[in-house]
Amino acid sequence: MKEVDDVLEHFGVLGMHWGKRGSKKIGGKIHSTIKKHTAKENPSEDHTKKVTLKKKKLHQMSNEELRTLNTRMQLERQYKDLNKHDVSAGRAFVTKTLTDIGSDIIKTTMATAIKKAIKI
């Protein structure tokens, strides 16, 4: 029979964080394995213009550029506010649970305060 020693080996990269992926080298260029938020397929011309304007400093923008950026950002915010029905099941559960717990705490606190007030 072959004897097996208890050995602990590490095959990770020194300094690498758990759950983080590195970059892959494809065709001489390094590509991140995580897609960036702005790297979407076929972004609209207005979206592209907004991203470019946000990179500018405030004093570098003209009044027209500021107006364009503000209008786009307001429209995006209004759209998100009007379409908030996409709440995850987990978030809905936590919200309901916390609301129920809060109302239970208030009820017991009020009942205790009323009992003490009646005794006095």
pLDDT digits (tens, 9 = 90+) for 62-99: 999 999 999 999 999 999 888 877 667 888 899 999 99
pLDDT at 82: 87
Query: Residue 53: which residues within 8 A CB-CB, separation 6 or more?
Result: 61, 65, 68, 69
Return the SS3 of 118. helix
Query: Distance (Å, rounded) from C-alpha 120 to C-alpha 96?
Result: 37
Whether 21 contacts 33, CB under 8 Å: yes
Q: What is the mean pLDDT of residues 14-26?
A: 65
Amino acid residing at 58: L
